[in-house]
Structure 1
Amino acid sequence: MLRQALIAGGGIGGLAAALAATRAGWDVRLFERANAFSEAGAGIQLGPNVVKVLQGWGLAGALQIVSAFPERLQVRCALSGQTLGELPLGASIAERYGAPYATLHRADLHRLLLEAVQQHADVKLHLSRPLQSFSQTAQAVMVQADDGPGIEGDALIGADGVWSMVRQQLLGDGLPRRTGHLAYRALVPQAGLPKLLRSQHVTAWLGPRMHVVQYPVRGGEWLNIVAIVQGEVPAEADLWDHSANAADLAAATAGCSAALREVLDAVEGWRLWVLHDRPPMQGAHQQAVGRVALLGDAAHPMRPYLAQGAGMAIEDAAELGHALAQALDPAFDVPTMLQRYALNRWQRNARVQARALRNGQIFHADGVVRWGRNVSMKMLGARVLDMPWLYGGGVRAT
Structure 2
Amino acid sequence: MSDPKSTTDVLVVGGGMAGLAGALALRESGAAVTLVERAPEFGEVGAGLQMAPNASRVLKRWGLLEKALEVGVQPKHLVFRDAVTGEELTRQSLKGEFEERYGAPYVVIHRSDLHRILLEACQAAGVELINDVTVSGVETVDGRGIAKTDDGREYHADVILGADGLRSTLRDAVSTDGPISSSYVAYRGTVPITSETLATDLEDVVVYLGPDCHLVQYPLRRGELLNTVAVFKSPSFERGEEQYGGVDELQAAYADCVPAVQEALKNLATGIRWPMYDRDPIENWIAGRMVLMGDAAHPMLQYLAQGACQALEDAAVLQDAATGTVFTDEGINPDAWDDAIREFNTVRAARTSRIQRTARIWGESWHVSGVAGVLRNLLFKSRKENDFQYNDWLYGTDGVGTPSPAGGRNAAVSA
Is contact 2:184–2:232 with CA below 8 Å preserved after alignment? yes
- Residue aligning to 2:372: 369
Indicate yes or no: 2:225 matched with 1:230.
Answer: no
Q: CA deviation at 1:357?
A: 0.6
Is contact 1:4–1:28 with CA below 8 Å preserved after alignment? yes
Write the distance in 2 (CA, Å) between the matches of 1:268 and 1:15: 28
- Residue aligning to 1:64: 69
1:238-267 CA-to-partner distances (Å, cap 9, x unmatched) read 5xxx47633321111000012211222354
Write the distance in 2 (CA, Å) between the matches of 1:192 and 1:6: 49
Q: CA deviation at 1:288?
A: 2.1
Indicate yes or no: 2:313 matched with 1:315.
Answer: yes
Write the distance in 2 (CA, Å) between the matches of 1:71 and 1:85: 14
CA RMSD in angstroms, aligned pairs only: 2.2
1:136-164 CA-to-partner distances (Å, cap 9, x unmatched) read 13510111124344221101111000000
Amino acid at match of 1:323: A
Write the distance in 1 (CA, Å) between the matches of 2:276 and 2:77: 27
- Residue aligning to 2:106: 101
Listed as ranges, the gaps of 5+ residues in structure 2 are 1-6, 403-415
Q: CA deviation at 1:386?
A: 4.5
Is contact 2:138–2:290 with CA below 8 Å preserved after alignment? no
Write the distance in 1 (CA, Å) between the matches of 2:349 and 2:228: 31
Match of 1:79 among 69, 79, 84: 84
Indicate yes or no: 2:122 matched with 1:117.
Answer: yes
Is contact 1:78–1:260 with CA below 8 Å preserved after alignment? yes
- Residue aligning to 1:254: 255
Q: CA deviation at 1:199?
A: 1.3
* 264-273 vs 287-296, which moves further: 264-273
Match of 2:146 among 135, 142, 162: 142
Summarize the alignment of residues 268-279 of structure 1 with structure 2, pairs less than 5 Å apart. 269=270, 271-279=272-280
Write the distance in 2 (CA, Å) between the matches of 1:219 and 1:270: 26
1:185-236 CA-to-partner distances (Å, cap 9, x unmatched) read 1111111653345612000100111111111111111111111111243667
Write the distance in 2 (CA, Å) between the matches of 1:62 and 1:353: 29
- Residue aligning to 1:44: 49
Write the distance in 1 (CA, Å) between the matches of 2:315 and 2:60: 14
1:33–1:3 CA distance, 2 compared to 1 (3 A):
closer
Write the distance in 2 (CA, Å) between the matches of 1:256 and 1:216: 22
Secondary structure of the structure 2 residue equivalent to 1:194: coil
Indicate yes or no: 2:394 matched with 1:393.
Answer: no
Is contact 1:48–1:100 with CA below 8 Å preserved after alignment? yes
Amino acid at match of 2:171: R
Q: CA deviation at 1:365?
A: 1.0
1:20-46 CA-to-partner distances (Å, cap 9, x unmatched) read 110121111111000000001111001
- Residue aligning to 2:4: none
* 383-392 vs 292-301, which moves further: 383-392
Summarize the alignment of residues 29-40 of structure 1 with structure 2, pairs less than 5 Å apart. 29-40=34-45
1:322–1:293 CA distance, 2 compared to 1 (3 A):
same
Is contact 1:200–1:215 with CA below 8 Å preserved after alignment? yes
Write the distance in 2 (CA, Å) between the matches of 1:288 and 1:171: 7
- Residue aligning to 2:357: 354
1:30–1:17 CA distance, 2 compared to 1 (3 A):
same
Write the distance in 1 (CA, Å) between the matches of 2:150 and 2:269: 42
Write the distance in 1 (CA, Å) between the matches of 2:225 and 2:214: 20
Percent of aligned positions with the same letter in both sequences?
A: 36
What TM-score comes out, normalization by structure 2 length?
0.88
Listed as ranges, the gaps of 5+ residues in structure 1 are none
Match of 2:294 among 293, 296, 302: 296
Is contact 1:377–1:384 with CA below 8 Å preserved after alignment? no
Write the distance in 2 (CA, Å) between the matches of 1:118 and 1:99: 25
* 109-118 vs 316-325, which moves further: 316-325
Write the distance in 2 (CA, Å) between the matches of 1:255 and 1:384: 32
Secondary structure of the structure 2 residue equivalent to 1:69: coil
Q: CA deviation at 1:315?
A: 0.3
Q: CA deviation at 1:354?
A: 1.1
1:268-303 CA-to-partner distances (Å, cap 9, x unmatched) read 646310111112x242x1x22331111110001111
Q: CA deviation at 1:305?
A: 0.5
Secondary structure of the structure 2 residue equivalent to 1:305: helix
Summarize the alignment of residues 173-212 of structure 1 with structure 2, pairs less than 5 Å apart. 173-191=176-194, 193-196=196-199, 199-212=202-215
Q: CA deviation at 1:367?
A: 1.7
What TM-score comes out, normalization by structure 1 length?
0.92
* 155-164 vs 328-337, which moves further: 328-337
- Residue aligning to 1:159: 163
Is contact 2:10–2:157 with CA below 8 Å preserved after alignment? yes
- Residue aligning to 1:9: 14
Match of 1:213 among 199, 212, 216: 216
Is contact 1:154–1:291 with CA below 8 Å preserved after alignment? yes
Aligned residue pair count: 388
Q: CA deviation at 1:177?
A: 1.3
Secondary structure of the structure 2 residue equivalent to 1:49: helix
1:302-341 CA-to-partner distances (Å, cap 9, x unmatched) read 1101000111111001111122332234496211210111
Q: CA deviation at 1:366?
A: 1.2
